[in-house]
Chain A
């Protein structure tokens, strides 16, 4: 149980293109989902917290207009990288927890990530 599906796995596109990444909880409802960015050989950096039915909460330094997050249902959150440039190339990974409220003992379940390459 607790499967998170992330799509697509790989994206290669030209500079200036907008790219949408989907994150779905397949067998549970996720009121909250998290979007992380990971540079090669680095740790996961939290970009934003996606809340169903409300605006996402962005971490300091993350451009809201560049990284649009929509969490329209209890099983789907999307991250759109708008007008992507080579510096946006990275590994993006989403995660979700089971239930409406996170408790400290709940592990987050991760999607398999999306490798984004902007040419």
Chain B
């Protein structure tokens, strides 16, 4: 069964605007981590931000913040002040306990000038 769901195949945002990329997950493990990665067209996976299941506060890293709603099992990525260089694929991922990391289908973000 799909454990990580990203329902937005593609998103557009105007430069300097904020954008939210959705991610929902499914797990019965109380200990898990949620991650967002950026994959530009060159292919490398760039780690952006992490949220732990026990974290009380939403994670933030510069222009990236994670809107963590545990009861709803959602971990949306918010990118503020979008830049042209933010255009890329974005993947939400989850690790349960000590297991491997599983990825969502991804969202292609296009920032318009």
Contacts and interface: CB of A to CB of B under 8 A. Distances in A.
Nearest to B99: A102
Nearest to B102: A46
B74 interface: no
A57 to B, nearest CB: 9
Contacts of A105: 33, 50, 52
Contact of A43 (B47, B91, B95): B91
Interface string A76-113: 00000000000000010101000001111111111111
B45 A106 contact: no
Contacts, number: 61
Interface centre among A43, A104, A107 (most CB of B within 10 A): A104
Interface in B53-111: 53, 91, 95-106, 108
Q: Give the interface SS of chain A, mostly helix, strand, loop or mixed.
A: loop
Nearest to B50: A107
Contacts of B98: 101-104
B97 A104 contact: yes
A101 B100 CA distance: 11
Interface residues of A, number: 24
Contacts of A91: 43
B32 A104 contact: yes
A115 interface: yes
A42 B99 CA distance: 22
B44 A112 contact: yes
A106 B99 CA distance: 11
A107 B47 contact: yes
B104 to A, nearest CB: 6
